[in-house]
Structure 1
Amino acid sequence: MKALSRYFFYDLLLSMVINSILYVPRILITERYKGAIMSLILGTLIGSILLYLFTAALMKYPGKGLPEIFKLSLSKYIYVPLLLLYSVLAFIAGGLVLINFAFIISRYLNPETPSYILLLLFVIVVCFGAMQSSKTVLYTAEIVLLLSLPLLFFLILKALTNKHMNVDAIRVILDYTWMLPSWKSLSVSTYAFVGYLHLSIFNRAFTNVNSIKYRWLMPIFGFGMLLMTFMIPIGTLGTDGVNDYIFTWVSTAEAIQMKYAFIDHVVYMFLLLFLSITFLYTMVTWHVASQTISSCFSRKKPNTSSVNSILPNAISCGLVGITIITLGSMLGEDDLFRVSSFCLVTRLPIDILLVLTVFVVSRRRLRL
């Protein structure tokens, strides 16, 4: 499998889309008068640097995942806790997305269905996908994104050209461009770029690949995506009114109308798109997390076709799935927002530590 560039971009695009729609706008909007726009600029810069360092380091180990790379250079007492911590964060990232979408479905489409029922169905589907081989997951990501991205760009175009778009509301926010950002807004902005970390497992599927072409496009696309998903809700819902909504982009889509055949509101197309992206993102993150955990305690080369390899992944995904269902039935929407914000704020230092560790290990290999 040699076409690393396009599959690498799929992972990045997936993270950018799901985080820009779900987490980034809602949290940045609460910081819109406290340097949110500057955080988009600095977040893009930091995220791009981490992306380049991480991918440059992994390109020196074609066909190897992060667990195999660490086993070559680090003590087990160092790399196992670090990989386990990363796995937990990956599980949490996918789980929070799943809970958020269950709340959205319960509120907008089927209010009478308990959230734990929806989460149970979602977890079953996601666990089945996460236990597949890395190549299968990548092929699935390609199919889903090729079908979803054109629809996403169409919805963004409709949002930019809808009659409720208030340019003056956006101009008000632009007056706060040069304010220094808070740690919270900066961390959230960089989180849109974390898709590069999925290469920690998917790099196993790529052999004879020494470079990734067109990486310079991702900071441009990422900044554009962050800026649009931050500005469009403000222009649609108002500078102050936008803060009254928990699921900001769902409310934005609900305010946009169009008249094409039987489709009257954009929100239904948006929720359909959100469904496919949610399942795909959770499947990818749980696949990476479960593979990382099983690799920490296995001395053999990963073989996703064997029962001994699939069983640990199934156990870890199952345990996390039960935890997510339990938390989803206990948390309210405001509680979920606070938990999500806390996880995003604390994740940035861990991501930096992981990237710098990989980069230092790769530099040591060059000297040897």
Structure 2
Amino acid sequence: MFRYTYYHVLYVGLINIMMFVPSILIRERFTGAILGMLIAIVIGSVMALSMMVCFEHFPGLGLPEICDLYLPKWLTTFNCLLASIFIWLPAGVIVVYSYSETIRMFFYPDMNPYMNLLLMAGAAAWASSRSTRTVQFINEITTIVSSPVIFIILMKAIFGPNLNWDAIRYVSGYIKEPPSFLTVASATFLFSGYMSLTIFNRLHTEGFKFRFRWLVPLFGTLFLSVTFFVPIGFHGTVGVEKFVYLWSMTADSMVLEYGFINRVLYVFLLIFTGLSLLFVMNTWHISILLIRYALNRSVTVEEVPVPQINIWLALAAGVISFAYMFAINMERNEIVSTVWLVARFFMEIVFLTLMLYFAWRRKKEKACV
């Protein structure tokens, strides 16, 4: 069962382009992005591995149930609502808006943007309202189907003739520049897949252990390096800053010579449609279950039929997406994403601190038995 956690690490690392992480790093490529990424790799890896070790002490329990063991109920309720409303729900809203606009601009710019959002938000809302075990199975299927194509595209980009390694080496020379806090905070997002354990740890049985933990820093480091350096290699040290849809234009700079497939852009957007919906499904599902736990503390991993409250909360998330599109544009969306990345970083530190305390209490309890 531990393999499911690595699926979350994988798709979160890939979806960082929709949270504008590469754009933030590119803006600071001469002013500390390199050192900031190195610091983020260390911080992100330590936080991810520490959280995974802590959750091993509580098989079958999500973070809300663990909080109930050691904290007052009002504080558990506050934590659940805070994380749901300000972290998990906005993450899905930002990504579904960002990707619906991206795919509309490249595929059918004359289409009504609300119609495109309806298709994506509707699919994500329906999927997020399913049971936790069903959502986990969807994660596995989508990740296994998408990953090989993504790695082919990445290998094509890295080893293709159009990548200018001199531009990459030039930017790498700014390693001594001190990074900003925003650089470090945003770069750690690529390691944040472990936060899915907040809910999905309920699926782990007694005695489970995470094996191959080295995959977490490996995935994070790989995706962070690729999403930052590849656009620089394709567009140059100066030209890379001029693109709004950075990675979409980077994909459009590549060509696949495999049968009827020529432009990488179409394959890229198709694959990331699935990954974006996967991310939104998971963030809204976690948000729904956190709200439900705060309301009545009665949540199980298998629920047949699906409770009506799941459907209503999922529909509410979809409606919020429409309100967000009405009030925002791509420039403001990038600002909101930046604020969310910083807020997420602080929230992860708080939750890690809580989990370290809970794990210490659990070990102390076992020692006294």
Q: When the two structures are superposed, what TM-score results if normalisation uses the length of structure 1?
A: 0.95
Matched, 1:28 2:28: no
Which digits, 9 at most, give the CA deviation of each residue in 1:271-308, with x for residues without a partner? Answer: 0111110111111111111111101121435365256x
Match of 1:67 among 49, 64, 67: 64
State whether residues 20 and 226 of structure 1, in contact with CA within 8 Å, keep that contact through their aligned partners in structure 2. no
Aligned-partner Cα distance in 2 for 1:273–1:285: 19
SS in 2 for 1:215: coil
1:174 — aligned with what? Answer: 172
- Against the structure 1 CA distance between its residues 21 and 154, is the aligned structure 2 distance closer, same or farther, given a 3 Å change threshold? farther
1:281 — aligned with what? Answer: 279
Matched, 1:45 2:42: yes
Q: Give the 5 Å matches for 1:188-227.
A: 188-227=186-225
Which digits, 9 at most, give the CA deviation of each residue in 1:309-367, with x for residues without a partner? Answer: 72222222221211111212332211111111111122211110011112202211222
State whether residues 93 and 324 of structure 2, in contact with CA within 8 Å, keep that contact through their aligned partners in structure 1. no
Aligned-partner Cα distance in 1 for 2:299–2:326: 39
Which digits, 9 at most, give the CA deviation of each residue in 1:246-282, with x for residues without a partner? Answer: 1211010111123322222110110011111011111
1:9 — aligned with what? Answer: 6
Which digits, 9 at most, give the CA deviation of each residue in 1:121-169, with x for residues without a partner? Answer: 1111111111111111111111111111110011011112333311111
Where does the alignment leave 5 or more consecutive residues of structure 1 unmatched?
none
Aligned-partner Cα distance in 2 for 1:349–1:234: 30
Aligned-partner Cα distance in 1 for 2:64–2:274: 29
TM-fit CA distance, 1:197: 0.9
Q: Give the 5 Å matches for 1:325-344.
A: 325-344=322-341
Q: Give the 5 Å matches for 1:23-172.
A: 23-88=20-85, 89-172=87-170
Give the aligned length. Answer: 364
SS in 2 for 1:193: helix
SS in 2 for 1:71: helix
Which digits, 9 at most, give the CA deviation of each residue in 1:10-39, with x for residues without a partner? Answer: 111111111156532111111111111112
Deviates more, 1:181-190 or 1:112-121: 112-121
State whether residues 258 and 266 of structure 1, in contact with CA within 8 Å, keep that contact through their aligned partners in structure 2. yes
State whether residues 40 and 186 of structure 1, in contact with CA within 8 Å, keep that contact through their aligned partners in structure 2. yes
Moved over 6 A (4+): none
Q: When the two structures are superposed, what TM-score results if normalisation uses the length of structure 2?
A: 0.94
Letter in 2 for 1:335: R
Where does the alignment leave 5 or more consecutive residues of structure 2 unmatched?
none
1:262 — aligned with what? Answer: 260
Pairwise CA RMSD: 1.6
